[in-house]
Amino acid sequence: MKVEHGIKGQQKTKIKLEELTFYYGKYKAIDNVSMEFLECKVTAIIGPSGCGKSTLIKSINRISEITNDVQVEGKVLLDNKNVYDRDVDLVDLRRRVGMVFQRPNPFPKSIYDNVAFGPRLYGVNNKKRLDEIVEYSLVKSALWNEVKDRLNQSAIGFSGGQQQRLCIARALAVDPEVLLMDEPCAALDPTATARIEELIEDLKKYYTIAIVTHNMQQAARISDYTGFLLNGQLIEYNITTEMFTNPDKKVTEDYITGRFG
Amino acid sequence: MTVGKRKIFNSFFQGLCRSMAFLAMAVLIVILVKVVTNGVGVINLSFLFKAPREGMTEGGIFPAIFGTVCITMLMIVLAIPVGVSAAIYLTEYAGKNFLGRIIRASINNLAGVPSIVFGLFGVGFFVLFIGRGMDKILGIPLLFGQPAMLWAASTLALLVLPVIIVSTEEALNSVSVSLREAAFALGATKWQVVRNVVLPQARSGILTGAILSISRGAGETAPILFTGCAYFLPRLPVFTIPYVHIPVINPLDQFMELSYHIFIMATQSTNVAATRPIQYGTTLVLIALTFLLNLSAIIFRIYFRKRPR
């Protein structure tokens, strides 16, 4: 069903930020950031609160535009195509770039209807096909065994961790290429967090993942690359093991070792 | 200021505010007690289900009840689609831009227009302009171009439009941003977000608007005065479909209405003493009917709220 994007040993750039500067009204949230997200790798964005981490990944699927007045300079290239070009179809962009939010936000509908929500938007109404997609997505998000007998129950009654995995399943159901995760474990307990981390480990075989996290250990555990953001500027970007053992800059080391932030 | 003085002031103002609150409640109680004690005596089945006789001094008020129910329902059916669509445009599409601000200001001013002005507008616009215009275009003798239930309901619908728009707007705005984001992030278009996420969430708020507009519209007299209600009709505004003999409400007919019925009995009757108990009875029925319509809308709303969707 899903094609393997990544070929071992060969690293393809999936997303490339080129001198990206991002404003909310007059406020500059991202300041001249250039970095890459490699295909089928997990790239973590770390940094203190308000440094622009969320804004950075939200600039990729252009979701901030819905609620805010934003202005963008520079480029965000997805497969070498700038997502801020005039001819970009936002619907198609957001199908290709899925997103999981900080607080689990399932729709107040049944498990089934939550997962089927995306495919239905694209006109998939065939019951058999929808059943397949729902099962496939729930299996992939490691939720199937827990909910397979309760697909018609409202998602609201489930635990936070289950809701978050449901949100992941919902995002996977439209067959994205990239998965943006905005502090997906911030509202979860340690057990639920561990399950999500395992899941991310598994998902990166198929998807390019960009994850924002507050938790340095989490970044160290799950990511292949890490970017450290401070006041909207990318201070350092490197292979995760490098960054956490041997950071280039003093300020990165201070942040990682918990001296501020 | 001494402590004692402050305490006195405090209790004084608390008492003042409390008595004003009770005053508001007392007005309602006095009205209800007066209407119920004087009106309950005339109410019986034949009062509710028979037509008036002998120049309104005897008989029942069934045609007026029937007309009130019909026109209120027709009003809601006409007002909800317009009001909800307008509110969707204002919250979801126009936002806070210049056009949106102008429309919003117009709606607020529309809410302040006196109801008699709506009545006159209804005659000029619906009956004479649209109705006569339709007759002329269709080349038929007078059919649409006279006062009728349809035009009266349209006029009432305009009157309650601001209520529906404002309450729907509030309902739409209260739908959480995170659910909207979730849908947008899946690639939903604006309309899909509205249709699949926002409207289902806002449904009970929209029904609240409907409830409020029923309360506002059901008892209005001025807007229907010239647009369709009749002093007295010997028959119900019902039309029987030929051959199959199914009676349907005829929106092109005139109708009797409770509040107008009270008005004419109070001002036009030749025998006020004979109609007085009937006036009280009619008033009681009007209040009860408004209450019943409200109640059914509330039950409807609870039903929607409970249903897991």
Helix intervals (H) in chain A = 53-61, 90-96, 111-121, 127-140, 144-147, 160-172, 190-203, 216-222, 240-245, 250-256
How does DSSP assign A50-117, residue by residue?
A: TSSHHHHHHHHHT-GGGTS-EEEEEEEEETTEETTSTT--HHHHHHHEEEE-SS----SSBHHHHHHH
pLDDT digits (tens, 9 = 90+) for A69-106: 899 999 999 999 999 999 999 999 999 999 999 999 99
Reading across the β-sheet that carries A208-212, which strands appear in turn? Answer: A97-100, A178-182, A208-212, A42-46, A225-230, A233-239
Task: State whether residue A108 sits within 8 Å of chain B by CB.
Answer: yes
Establish if B241 belongs to a structural domain.
yes
What is the distance in angstroms between the Cα of A85 and the nearest Cα belonging to chain B?
Answer: 17
Is the Cβ pair A174, B186 closer than 8 Å? Answer: yes
Dihedral class, residue B293 (left if φ above 0, else alpha if ψ from -120 to 50, else beta):
alpha
Calpha distance B300→B207 (Å, rounded): 8
What is the distance in angstroms between the Cα of B307 and the nearest Cα belonging to chain A?
Answer: 10
Contacts of B286 (CB under 8 A, 6+ apart): B68, B218, B219, B258, B259, B262
B306 band by pLDDT with thresholds 50, 70 and 90: low
Which residue in the set A109, A118, A121 is minimally distant from B309, CB to CB? A109
Calpha distance A32→A72 (Å, rounded): 10
Dihedral class, residue A164 (left if φ above 0, else alpha if ψ from -120 to 50, else beta):
alpha
Establish if B108 belongs to a structural domain.
yes
Contacts of A197 (CB under 8 A, 6+ apart): A185, A218, A221, A222
Calpha distance B83→B103 (Å, rounded): 13
pLDDT score for A10? 60
Establish if B10 belongs to a structural domain.
no
Can you read off the two tokens belonging to residue A128? 């058999």
Q: Which residues of A touch B182 (CB under 8 A)?
A: 101, 105-107, 167, 170
Is the Cβ pair A94, B197 closer than 8 Å? Answer: no
What is the distance in angstroms between the Cα of A19 and the nearest Cα belonging to chain B?
Answer: 24
What is the chain A residue with the closest CA to B183? A118
B235 band by pLDDT with thresholds 50, 70 and 90: confident
- Structural domain for B87, as ranges: 67-306
B1 band by pLDDT with thresholds 50, 70 and 90: low
* SS3 per-residue string spanning B94-111: HCCCHHHHHHHHHHHHHH
Average pLDDT of the residues in A208-235: 93
pLDDT score for A49? 87
Determine which helix (DSSP H) or strand (DSSP E) holds B12, and give its type and residue range.
helix B3-39
pLDDT score for B228? 87
pLDDT digits (tens, 9 = 90+) for B249-300: 888 889 999 999 988 888 887 777 878 888 999 999 999 988 887 787 778 7
pLDDT score for B120? 95
What is the chain A residue with the closest CA to B192? A121
What is the distance in angstroms between the Cα of A112 and the nearest Cα belonging to chain B?
Answer: 11
B56 pLDDT above the threshold of 80: no
A9 pLDDT above the threshold of 70: no
Establish if B256 belongs to a structural domain.
yes
pLDDT more than 70, % of chain B: 97
Calpha distance A222→A148 (Å, rounded): 28
Establish if B84 belongs to a structural domain.
yes
Which residue in the set A63, A92, A107 is minimally distant from B185, CB to CB? A63
Task: State whether residue A62 sits within 8 Å of chain B by CB.
Answer: no
Q: Which residues of B touch A170 (CB under 8 A)?
A: 182, 186
Q: How far, CA to CA in Å, does B169 sit from each of A66, B93, B98?
A: 18, 12, 17
Which residue in the set B178, B189, B308 is minimally distant from A105, CB to CB? B178
pLDDT more than 90, % of chain A: 77
User: Which is more confident, B48 or B152?
Assistant: B152
Q: Which residues of A touch B176 (CB under 8 A)?
A: 105
B307 band by pLDDT with thresholds 50, 70 and 90: low
Establish if B43 belongs to a structural domain.
no
Is the Cβ pair B178, A101 closer than 8 Å? Answer: yes
Q: Which residues of A touch B196 (CB under 8 A)?
A: 117, 121
For residue A229, the cross-strand partners are A234
Task: State whether residue A150 sits within 8 Å of chain B by CB.
Answer: no
A249 pLDDT above the threshold of 60: yes
Q: Give the Cβ contact number of residue B111 at 10 Å.
A: 15
Please answer whether residues B127 and B133 qualify as being in contact, where contact means their C-beta atoms are separated by less than 8 angstroms. no
Please answer whether residues A46 and A253 qualify as being in contact, where contact means their C-beta atoms are separated by less than 8 angstroms. no
User: Range with the lowest mean pLDDT among A106-115, B43-52, B143-152?
Assistant: B43-52
pLDDT score for A7? 38
Which residue in the set B177, B185, B308 is minimally distant from A99, CB to CB? B185
Task: State whether residue B307 sits within 8 Å of chain A by CB.
Answer: no
Which of B135, B291, B112, B274 shows the shortest CA–CA distance to B211?
B291
A2 pLDDT above the threshold of 50: no
Task: State whether residue B97 sits within 8 Å of chain A by CB.
Answer: no
DSSP state of B92: I
pLDDT score for B51? 81
pLDDT digits (tens, 9 = 90+) for B127-182: 999 999 999 999 888 888 899 999 999 999 999 999 999 999 999 998 989 999 99
The whole-model pTM stands at 0.81
Please answer whether residues B214 and B293 qualify as being in contact, where contact means their C-beta atoms are separated by less than 8 angstroms. yes
Determine which helix (DSSP H) or strand (DSSP E) holds A35, and give its type and residue range.
strand A27-38
pLDDT digits (tens, 9 = 90+) for A151-205: 999 999 899 999 999 999 999 999 999 999 999 998 889 998 999 999 999 999 9
Domain count, chain B: 1
B308 pLDDT above the threshold of 60: no
pLDDT digits (tens, 9 = 90+) for A164-173: 999 999 999 9
pLDDT score for B80? 93
A&B contacts, CB < 8 Å = 65
DSSP state of B247: E
A209 pLDDT above the threshold of 90: yes
A132 band by pLDDT with thresholds 50, 70 and 90: very high
Task: State whether residue A171 sits within 8 Å of chain B by CB.
Answer: yes
Average pLDDT of the residues in B57-74: 88
Calpha distance B18→A260 (Å, rounded): 54
A5 band by pLDDT with thresholds 50, 70 and 90: very low
pLDDT score for A261? 64
pLDDT digits (tens, 9 = 90+) for B70-110: 999 999 999 999 999 999 999 988 877 888 899 999 999 99
pLDDT score for B239? 82
- What average pLDDT does chain A have? 90
* Pairing state between β B238-241 and B246-249: antiparallel
Establish if B204 belongs to a structural domain.
yes
What is the distance in angstroms between the Cα of B79 and the nearest Cα belonging to chain A?
Answer: 28
Please answer whether residues A28 and A52 qualify as being in contact, where contact means their C-beta atoms are separated by less than 8 angstroms. no
Calpha distance A14→B181 (Å, rounded): 24
Q: Which CATH number is B91's domain given?
A: 1.10.3720.10
What is the distance in angstroms between the Cα of B176 and the nearest Cα belonging to chain A?
Answer: 10
Q: Which residues of B touch A61 (CB under 8 A)?
A: 185
pLDDT score for B217? 86
Determine which helix (DSSP H) or strand (DSSP E) holds A235, and give its type and residue range.
strand A233-239
Please answer whether residues A207 and A140 qualify as being in contact, where contact means their C-beta atoms are separated by less than 8 angstroms. no
Determine which helix (DSSP H) or strand (DSSP E) holds A42, and give its type and residue range.
strand A42-46
Strand, coil or helix: A155: helix
Calpha distance B9→B176 (Å, rounded): 43
Helix intervals (H) in B62-195 = 62-88, 98-111, 115-122, 132-138, 149-173, 177-185, 190-193
Strand, coil or helix: B45: helix
Is the Cβ pair B185, A174 closer than 8 Å? Answer: no
Strand, coil or helix: A171: helix
* Long-range CB contact pairs, A224-227, < 8 A, 24+: A224/A38, A224/A41, A224/A42, A224/A43, A225/A37, A225/A38, A225/A41, A225/A42, A225/A43, A225/A44, A226/A43, A226/A44, A226/A45, A226/A46, A227/A35, A227/A43, A227/A44, A227/A45, A227/A46
The number of residues in chain B equals 309
pLDDT score for A6? 37
> Cα–Cα–Cα angle for A109, A110, A114, nearest 5°?
75
For residue A237, the cross-strand partners are A227
Establish if B148 belongs to a structural domain.
yes
Average pLDDT of the residues in B199-220: 85
Calpha distance A209→A118 (Å, rounded): 19
